[in-house]
Amino acid sequence: MKSALMVFVSILGLAGCATSDEFREGDVVIESPWARSSAGRTATGVVYLRLSNLAAEPEQLLGVTTPIAAGASVHRTMREHGMMSMQPLQALALAANETVSLEPGGLHIMLMQLGSPLVEGETFPMTLNFERAGSIDIHVTVRGVGAMSAHE
């Protein structure tokens, strides 16, 4: 009986961990926000996450702010003529009932002029500003410099 209780408590603990990186306001859900730790003294950083618009109407991510950087904005990584480049977006459109992943090699949130390096294991606050849902405060977890997903 005691071991069954321990298993139950462990499952509850894992369930709590699974949802601790999900943030929701109305019909907008933000999942698994993470950033790579800084390599050296770089003044930039990158944040990845998954955005879902569960509404029957389109939504837009209009802006991003965080106290750890002088600026933050959504960028798209593009390959043109064999060269990789990044392009800032004025807004990120989310169609009705759409999920968009910001991930390495694609869309991401660029942090400019970091106040200090991003350190693995730490978290930092960020606010995402949407056209309909308004402002959503999240916490971003910093992963290792070689991480390719939220779980590495």
Residue 1: inside a domain, yes or no? no
Residue 151: inside a domain, yes or no? no
The structural domain count of the chain equals 1
Q: What are phi and psi of 149, to 5 degrees?
A: -150, 175
Residue range of the domain that includes 34:
23-143
Residue 9: inside a domain, yes or no? no
96-120 in b/e form (b: 16+ CB < 10 A) is: eeeebebbeeebbbbbeebeeebee
> Helix, strand, or coil here: 19?
helix
Residue 98: inside a domain, yes or no? yes
Q: Check residue 15 and give its pLDDT.
A: 40
Residue 105 token pair: 């090699």
Average pLDDT of the residues in 85-104: 94
d(CA 133, CA 143): 28
Q: Check residue 79 and give its pLDDT.
A: 82
pTM for the model: 0.82
Is a pLDDT exceeding 60 seen at residue 13? no
Q: Are 73 and 64 in contact (CB under 8 A)?
A: yes
| CATH number, residue 61 | 2.60.40.1890
> Helix, strand, or coil here: 62?
strand
CA atoms within 13 A on the CB side of 96: 3
